[in-house]
């Protein structure tokens, strides 16, 4: 957000309006949906954002554009079957090229990196190598493991010491708020008669019929043919839809924490530190060069919230969680001297299944979802936008387990019951 230099004046909805598609929420999900719809169809699109663009999770993340899920791969296979699971991984991986096209269109940069996940024991790393998208198993040069690449500078490469093995996976690094703002500017310029963005414009009441929607916002009415819900885990609106999917129970609010420190020049990169004991916290670090600044940021802890509104206040417990991340970095991250320059938290809306809910509602032709931040969601949001756009346009789209038809089966009950491969730390 520090690198976001907005020049555009925020406009808020001040009169009734008609549109083909109303996108509710101006994060990466909402803006990618607008991008896909405007560049691939001739539909008129309005974004309604209750605050400012990127004020949600999209303005507070680690920028790792990666085809990963918090639910372990074997569990995804057990829940959705191998074919659908592998198809979903492949589709999310392919979304990298959509993200790159979008970034190029918006003159934004994406760094390409091979990210590393660090493990204290070799067996866990070998297990992780079974995940689709894993590139290579790395070990220190004195290891006897025959199927791994030996690294002379293992500690240097892992930015740490005390880890036994690392697995590689491809990732992009993206500054979401800058990308979103650049996209808004370029789309408004290129589609002046087809695109409107309203900020400080919360959708308070959404009433849907099969082929039409009516949204109450700032005391005015937006009439649209379809609604795309990109609201993450924020509440505060009523949805009258007759759909079997109840968003009240579906998305639960969780706060995720990050700290940031301005650093001396370093190559862009991503490392995640997987604990040997699942009851211990998992931490992840992104180093990136953004505009004129080098930044190291790290996250990994979270807190289950009783209400999404809790994300708007800062408590002593939030302070303590950020201190814990800093303590980990001081102890483990080579060259990290602290103290943090920045700290923040962002809303992670968790679906009850731990994976995104994206696509057309099973019952209602006017309602589409791209919902549930689920801790890792940038690429997933970009893919979901493409799927929704193709569904609206009546074209073939990639089948994934994000589909509401699949998701509406009996849920596994996250956040309490689903075992996560990157366990958040919750007391």
Ligand X SMILES: Cc1cc2nc3c(=O)[nH]c(=O)nc-3n(C[C@H](O)[C@H](O)[C@H](O)COP(=O)(O)OP(=O)(O)OC[C@H]3O[C@@H](n4cnc5c(N)ncnc54)[C@H](O)[C@@H]3O)c2cc1C
* Gyration radius from the chain CA atoms: 21
Residues 6+ away with beta carbon under 8 Å from 343:
257, 258, 259, 260, 318, 319, 322
CA dist 279 and 293 (Å) reads 35
Q: With beta carbons less than 8 A apart as the criterion, state whether 422 and 282 touch.
A: yes
Q: Which of 13, 22, 23, 57 binds ligand X (CB under 6 A)?
A: 57
Q: Which is nearer to ligand X, 80 or 237 (CB)?
A: 237
CA distance 227 to 224: 7
Interface with ligand X (CB under 6 A), residue from 202, 281, 354, 359? 202
Which residue lies nearer to ligand X by CB, 231 or 351? 231
From candidates 17, 41, 58, 421, binder to ligand X by CB under 6 A: 58
Coil/strand/helix, residue 10: coil
For residue 210, the minimal CB distance to ligand X (Å) is: 22
325 binds ligand X (CB under 6 A): no
Q: Which of 69, 237, 282, 368 contacts ligand X by CB under 6 A?
A: 237
Stretch in the footprint of ligand X (CB under 6 A) among 44-52, 102-110, 117-125, 315-323: 44-52
| CB closer to ligand X out of 64 and 391 | 64
Q: Are strands 293-304 and 283-290 parallel, antiparallel or unpaired?
A: antiparallel
Token couple for 352: 């009850």
Our CB check for ligand X shows the closer of 81 and 236 to be 236
How far out from the chain centre does Cα 392 lie?
Answer: 23
User: Of 36, 88, 231, 272, which one interacts with ligand X (CB under 6 A)?
Assistant: 231
**Residue 3: which of 259, 261, 183, 175 has the closest Cα?**
175
Which residue lies nearer to ligand X by CB, 148 or 325? 325
Residue 232 interacts with ligand X (CB under 6 A): yes or no: yes
Q: Give the residue with the Cβ less far from ligand X, 148 or 381.
A: 381
CB of 232 to ligand X, least distance (A): 3
| 258 lies in the site for ligand X, by CB under 6 A | yes
Q: Spell out the residues 6+ positions from residue 347 whose beta carbon is closer than 8 angstroms to its own.
A: 56, 57, 60, 232, 233, 234, 253, 254, 255, 256, 308, 311, 373
Q: Of 43-51, 186-194, 243-251, 397-405, which part binds ligand X (CB under 6 A)?
A: 43-51
Q: Which residue has the closest beta carbon to ligand X?
A: 377
Q: Which is nearer to ligand X, 175 or 232 (CB)?
A: 232
Does residue number 63 form part of the binding site for ligand X (CB under 6 A)? yes
Q: Which of the ranges 14-22, 155-163, 189-197, 232-240 carries the binding residues for ligand X, by CB under 6 A?
A: 232-240
**Residue from 23, 137, 164, 230 that binds ligand X (CB under 6 A)?**
230
- The mark string for 330-369 relative to ligand X (x by CB under 6 A, - otherwise) is ----------------xxx---------------------
CA proximity to 376, closest of 290, 277, 270, 295: 270
Q: Which stretch binds ligand X (CB under 6 A): 9-17, 34-42, 78-86, 228-236?
A: 228-236
Site string for ligand X, 262-301 (x = CB under 6 A): -------------------------------------x--
CB distance 350 to 254 below 8 Å? yes
Interface pick for ligand X out of 41, 61, 131, 160 (rule CB under 6 A): 61
User: Does position 60 bind ligand X by CB under 6 A?
Assistant: yes
Q: Which is nearer to ligand X, 190 or 312 (CB)?
A: 312
Residue 62 in contact with ligand X, rule: CB under 6 A: yes
b vs e for 195-230, b when ≥16 Cβ sit within 10 Å of the residue's Cβ?
Answer: bbbbbebbbeebbbeeeebbbbbbeeebebbbbbbb
Distance between alpha carbon 189 and the CA centroid of its chain, in Å?
26
Distance CA 372, CA 297 (A): 23
Distances (CA, A) of 88 to 79, 133, 172, 209, 409: 13, 12, 18, 30, 17
DSSP state of 47: E
DSSP label at residue 324: H
Q: Name the residue with tokens 């079997």.
A: 244
Give the nearest distance from C-beta 312 to ligand X in angstroms.
Answer: 11
- Could you give the maximum distance between any two Cα atoms of the chain, in Å? 70
Binding to ligand X in span 11-40, by CB under 6 A = 24-30
- Site residues for ligand X per CB under 6 A: 24-30, 48-51, 55-58, 60-64, 202-203, 230-232, 234, 236-237, 256, 258, 299, 346-348, 373, 375-378, 381
């Amino acid at each position: 957000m520090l690198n976001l230099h907005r020049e555009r004046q925020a406009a808020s909805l001040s009169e009734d309006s008609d549109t083909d598609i109303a996108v509710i929420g101006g994060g990466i999900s909402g803006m990618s949906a607008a991008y896909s719809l405007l560049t691939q169809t001739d539909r008129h699109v309005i974004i309604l954002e209750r605050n400012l663009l990127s004020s949600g999770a999209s303005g507070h993340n680690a920028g790792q554009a990666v085809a990963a899920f918090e639910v372990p791969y074997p569990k995804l296979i057990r829940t959705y079957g191998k074919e659908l699971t592998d198809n979903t991984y492949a589709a999310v991986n392919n979304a990298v090229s959509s993200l790159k096209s979008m970034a190029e269109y918006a003159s934004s940069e994406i760094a390409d990196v091979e990210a590393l996940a660090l493990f204290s024991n070799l067996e866990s790393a070998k297990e992780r190598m079974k995940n689709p998208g894993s590139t290579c198993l790395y070990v220190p040069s004195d290891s006897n493991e025959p199927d791994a690449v030996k690294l002379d500078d293992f500690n240097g490469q892992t930015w740490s010491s005390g880890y036994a093995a690392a697995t590689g996976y491809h990732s992009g690094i993206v500054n979401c708020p800058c990308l979103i703002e650049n996209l808004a500017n370029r789309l408004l310029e290129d589609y002046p008669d087809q695109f409107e963005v309203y900020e400080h414009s919360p959708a308070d009441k959404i009433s849907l019929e099969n082929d039409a929607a009516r949204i109450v916002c700032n005391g005015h009415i937006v009439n649209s043919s379809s609604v795309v819900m990109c609201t993450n885990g924020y509440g505060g609106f009523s949805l009258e839809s007759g759909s079997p999917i109840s968003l009240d129970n579906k998305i639960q609010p969780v706060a995720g924490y990050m700290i940031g420190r301005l650093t001396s020049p370093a190559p862009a990169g991503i490392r995640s530190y997987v604990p040997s004991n699942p009851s211990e916290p998992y931490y992840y670090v992104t180093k990136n060069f953004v505009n004129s600044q080098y930044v190291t940021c790290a996250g990994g802890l979270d807190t289950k919230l009783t209400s999404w509104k809790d994300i708007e206040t800062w408590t002593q417990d939030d302070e303590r969680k950020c201190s814990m991340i800093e303590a980990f970095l001081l102890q483990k991250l080579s060259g990290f001297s602290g103290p943090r320059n920045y700290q923040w938290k962002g809303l992670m809306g968790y679906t009850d299944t731990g994976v995104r809910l994206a696509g057309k509602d099973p019952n209602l032709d006017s309602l589409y979802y791209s919902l549930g931040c689920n801790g890792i969601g940038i690429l997933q949001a970009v893919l979901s936008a493409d799927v929704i756009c193709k569904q609206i346009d009546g074209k073939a789209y990639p089948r994934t387990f994000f589909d509401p038809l699949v998701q509406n089966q009996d849920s596994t009950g996250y956040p309490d019951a689903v075992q996560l491969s990157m366990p958040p730390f919750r007391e």
